[in-house]
Structure 1
Amino acid sequence: MGIKDAFEFTLGTIIHTIFRFIQLVLALTVCGLYGVDLHKSNSEDKYSDGKWIYAEVVASLSAFTALFYMIPFTVKITFAFVWDTILFILWIALFGLFGSMYIKEHAEGDNGVQRMKNAVWVDLTNALLWLISAVGMAFYWVKHRHGRSIWTGRAKV
């Protein structure tokens, strides 16, 4: 496998890039959904709840990671599944945190509560996407772990 192989646009690479783009879009969606409350509390000089800050941090890490993984060469990063698994765990924790607060809530015309109920399901979707990603990257690593180095092609990786 040479350096040119890292930049080939195969069907797998295209699907991977589309998958990462969906992760990016959903992470940015979460940034927007939770950012509304953070912006409101900040503009009113009120306390910014750590739960919402945690949501923004998880979403930002996910967005940067998805964007980074869309660079063709980074598809072949060893142990990428470990970071994807960590992001999955962070998303599940976020879903559990806000799910316990909002799933059973009745919006009753309150747009803020309805927005947060919707955000909970986007959190779950993000968690499932990162789980799929972690499993897929683990399969990719297992399949390619006995490959040859990209520099000379002689040494086993």
Structure 2
Amino acid sequence: MILADIFSMILRLAELAFAAIVAGLTGKYLHATEGTSAWDNGRFIYTEVVAGLSILLAIIWLFPFSGSFIHWPADFIISVMWFVAFGLMVNWLNGACGYVFDWNGVALSGRGQTCGEWKADIAFAFLSAICWLVSALLGIYWVRRHTAPAHAPATGTYHRRRWYRSRV
């Protein structure tokens, strides 16, 4: 299962990079709106907390140990949190920069810079949610593959019967 370990490391690196990008872009906005009430910036504070938690967990779980696959429930919860952050930011943008995934007219500098930053923030939040979800699915696959059911014999010679084969 070396491929699963390598794929898990690639996912963790992507999760780390995407969370760092979202933390940077959202932090830049929070710094610009420093005097505003926390209630008005609640969705951005939530996104920043999710990004910080994702950075921490991605660093901790980056190393390829078989125990890193048993964290799939936490991966799934973080994925849901990222999808919520994605939805909150899309709702806040409310079409002000056009369709969320329409990248036409977005420039690196000049007039479209603000829309480009928001669309990048939203896109990387979505990509992070997808990576965490795939990481959870990989964890479910690994755990299911490496654990025997409770009714397995104690001899250690248990082979899982395929769902399409009958006992007859």
Q: How high is the TM-score relative to the length of structure 2?
A: 0.71
Superposed displacement of residue 143, structure 1: 1.2
Q: 1:98 aligns with which of 72, 89, 97?
A: 89
Aligned residues with identical type, % of pairs: 27
Aligned length: 137
Tell me the distance in 1 between the aligned counterparts of 2:76 and 2:69.
Answer: 14
Q: Which residue does the alignment assign to 2:144?
A: 142
Tell me the distance in 2 between the aligned counterparts of 1:35 and 1:23.
Answer: 18
AA partner of residue 29 (structure 1):
I
Q: 1:70 aligns with which of 62, 69, 72?
A: 62
Q: 1:47 aligns with which of 37, 47, 51?
A: 37
Kindly indicate whether the alpha-carbon contact (under 8 Å) linking 2:22 and 2:124 is maintained by their aligned counterparts in 1: yes
Kindly indicate whether the alpha-carbon contact (under 8 Å) linking 1:26 and 1:126 is maintained by their aligned counterparts in 2: yes
Q: Secondary structure at the match of 2:50?
A: helix
Q: 1:113 aligns with which of 112, 115, 127?
A: 115
Which runs of no fewer than 5 residues in structure 2 stay unpaired? 99-104, 106-110, 150-155, 157-168
Q: 1:89 aligns with which of 52, 57, 80?
A: 80
AA partner of residue 85 (structure 2):
L
Superposed displacement of residue 69, structure 1: 0.8
Instruction: Report which stretch shifted further, 23-32 or 48-57.
Output: 48-57
Tell me the distance in 1 between the aligned counterparts of 2:69 and 2:120.
Answer: 35
Pair 1:34-2:26 in alignment = yes
Q: Secondary structure at the match of 2:148?
A: coil
AA partner of residue 36 (structure 2):
K
Q: Cα RMSD between the aligned structures?
A: 2.4
Superposed displacement of residue 60, structure 1: 0.8
Kindly indicate whether the alpha-carbon contact (under 8 Å) linking 1:103 and 1:120 is maintained by their aligned counterparts in 2: no
Instruction: Report which stretch shifted further, 118-127 or 105-114.
Output: 105-114
- Greater radius of gyration (CA): 2
Tell me the distance in 1 between the aligned counterparts of 2:24 and 2:18.
Answer: 10
